Amino acid sequence: MAVAAEALVRDKLYIGGEWVDPAGDGTIDVVNPSTEEVVGRIPEGTPEDADRAVRAARAAFDSWAGTTPDERGELLAAVGAKLNERGDELAALIATEMGMPLKLTRMIQVGLPTASFAMIPQLIQEVVWEEEVGNSVIVREPAGVVAAITPWNYPLHQIANKVAPALAAGCTIVLKPSEVVPLNAFVLAEILEEVGVPAGVFNLVTGTGPVVGEAIVAHPETDMVSFTGSTRAGRRVSELAAQSVKPVTLELGGKSPNVILDDADLERAVTDGVAKCFLNSGQTCSALTRMLVPRERLEEAERIAATVAETFTPGDPFDDGARLGPLVSETQLERVRGYIEKGKAEGARLVTGGSEPPEGREQGYFVSPTVFSDVDPKSTIAQEEIFGPVLSIIPYDDEEDAVRIANDTVYGLAGGVWSADEERARRVAARIRTGQVEINGGAFNALAPFGGYKQSGHGRELGRYGLEEFLVVKSLQL
């Protein structure tokens, strides 16, 4: 594999307030998914590195927990300001290592994590740090040392969703970012150091999940775990944490239904639904990947979906005309192509797209925006998370049938309901077993709780709810 002329080499870890040499000499290549070139290299951390980081976090905990929420909030707001200052640099970096089109990267992959830090002073004011209940004073205290493991699809956003609220709560943290898209995490570490976050409060150890991830989860000195990733990996994290009875927050997979009721504006609903499915090339855990439409309007929905899907032009993220970047890796490309072939083999009707690379995009991990219709709700592509730009249109007979199909997966992360009658939409939304439901395309809210039911995980991120996950409750009886 070719190495880019300006490959970014990060050869140190951030532990105990210092950039230190890793214990081992292993490295991991970072690959640009648009060009298949190696564009960076990071340390392949070891259990010894993980141990050193956890011990640094433990040593820093009492002092950091003893600061006031407002003091912590001021530092974290400064982090948000620095992220904004370096926003264009970060956007270019993440577009290179992740592949999302640059304009969207600046707005989403950088804008959201910047907001996560910037809003901390406001969230701190919303937390009830102390209250009286009868003859007791109830206080909320930091949970302790946090082991945080984050995914590659929204890399800096998912890091910020853990680091910002954990530090605001008074916890210290050891972060193991995805080794697939890790370079942005080093920029955040530089910023945390620059604004004066004390030594040991934040620690960065890169490496693989089975080595570094498992080491920080199982470590006797970590007090809680926050994990975002696949349901399979989430089960393993839970097993390890259970050995020492650590609390775990999990944000896992999804197979989210988008229920378009018979009175909805079909053109508007389908257009919005395709975009929600294809955002970030479908590499979104809350993507609305199952579009449920009335059986009598199936043909009309297919026509609209095909027209919209074909406007999602695959291309290099730095090209202005690109609306769909590559998948993140060759592994993901083969996985998604396999699901497309499985869909055809199981009888779903291919409306547009397919497993062949888009025209002119033979290099890079590109897949065509794909729509299947008349999908069996029990089929593989309707039940399993594909994590690519693949939409399944599923016909239903009546409202009861739609609700039954919507709830008929092991997941429960997100969903959507469309209706000309908002009250009807809300009644249907109340019956869908997911942590979040959009009504008529309602916008994402970074202050609202985000998390799932069933095998989509437990616990919540974002807003006051995300901060409270890192607090424990103590009662003082007077």
Give the CATH number, domain containing residue 277: 3.40.309.10
In angstroms, the CA 468 to CA 473 distance is 10
- Sign of the Cα pseudo-torsion (391, 394, 399, 404, in order): negative
Domain membership of residue 211 as a residue range: 3-252+456-477
Tell me, yes or no, whether 21 and 93 share the same domain: yes
- Angstrom CA distances, 443 to 223, 257, 295, 413, 459, stand at 35, 16, 27, 16, 22
CB contact at 8 A, 447 and 125: no
Tell me, yes or no, whether 157 and 225 share the same domain: yes
Tell me, yes or no, whether 183 and 331 share the same domain: no
- Angstrom CA distances, 110 to 86, 93, 175, 249, 401, stand at 9, 10, 18, 24, 40
Compute the 3-state secondary structure of the chain and give helix, strand, coil in percent, each to the nearest 5. 40, 20, 35
Tokens of residue 238, six digits: 């839970």
Tell me, yes or no, whether 244 and 261 share the same domain: no
Q: Is residue 182 part of a domain?
A: yes
Task: Return the ∠ at Cα 234 (arms to 72 and 236), rounded to 5°.
Answer: 115
In angstroms, the CA 7 to CA 30 distance is 9
pLDDT, averaged across the chain: 97
Run means of pLDDT, 10 residues per run, the chain, 478 residues: 80 98 98 97 98 98 98 98 98 97 97 98 97 98 98 98 98 98 98 98 98 98 97 96 97 97 98 98 98 98 98 95 96 97 98 94 95 98 98 98 98 98 98 98 96 97 97 98
Tell me, yes or no, whether 248 and 355 share the same domain: no
Tell me, yes or no, whether 295 and 323 share the same domain: yes
Residue whose pair of structure tokens reads 């060009």 in the numeric block: 35
Active site residue 285: yes
In angstroms, the CA 248 to CA 136 distance is 28
Tokens of residue 7, six digits: 């490959």
What CATH number should be reported for the domain holding residue 53? 3.40.605.10
Tell me, yes or no, whether 211 and 271 share the same domain: no
Residue 86: count other Cβ atoms within 10 Å of its Cβ: 16
Q: pLDDT (tens digit, 9 = 90+) per residue, 429-459? A: 999 999 999 999 999 999 999 999 999 999 9
**DSSP 8-state class, residue 110:** I
pLDDT computed for residue 5 by the predictor: 66
Tell me, yes or no, whether 247 and 334 share the same domain: no
In angstroms, the CA 172 to CA 216 distance is 13
Residue 435: count other Cβ atoms within 10 Å of its Cβ: 23
The secondary structure of 282-320 as a DSSP string is G--TT---EEEEEGGGHHHHHHHHHHHHTTS-B--TTST
Q: Write down the pTM of the prediction.
A: 0.97
Q: Is residue 88 part of a domain?
A: yes
CB contact at 8 A, 259 and 415: yes
Tell me, yes or no, whether 287 and 423 share the same domain: yes
Tell me, yes or no, whether 229 and 274 share the same domain: no
Per annotation, catalytic residue among 285, 385, 461, 468:
285
Residue whose pair of structure tokens reads 């640099």 in the numeric block: 89
List phi, psi (to 5°) of 35: -115, -15
Tell me, yes or no, whether 150 and 263 share the same domain: no
Q: Is residue 450 part of a domain?
A: no
- Angstrom CA distances, 354 to 129, 248, 308, 321, 367, stand at 53, 39, 15, 21, 8
Q: Is residue 221 part of a domain?
A: yes
CA 51 to chain CA mean position, Å = 26
Q: Is residue 70 part of a domain?
A: yes
Tell me, yes or no, whether 89 and 132 share the same domain: yes
List phi, psi (to 5°) of 240: -65, -45
Q: Torsion-angle region of residue 463: left (phi > 0), alpha (psi -120 to 50) or beta?
A: left
- Number of folded domains in the chain? 2
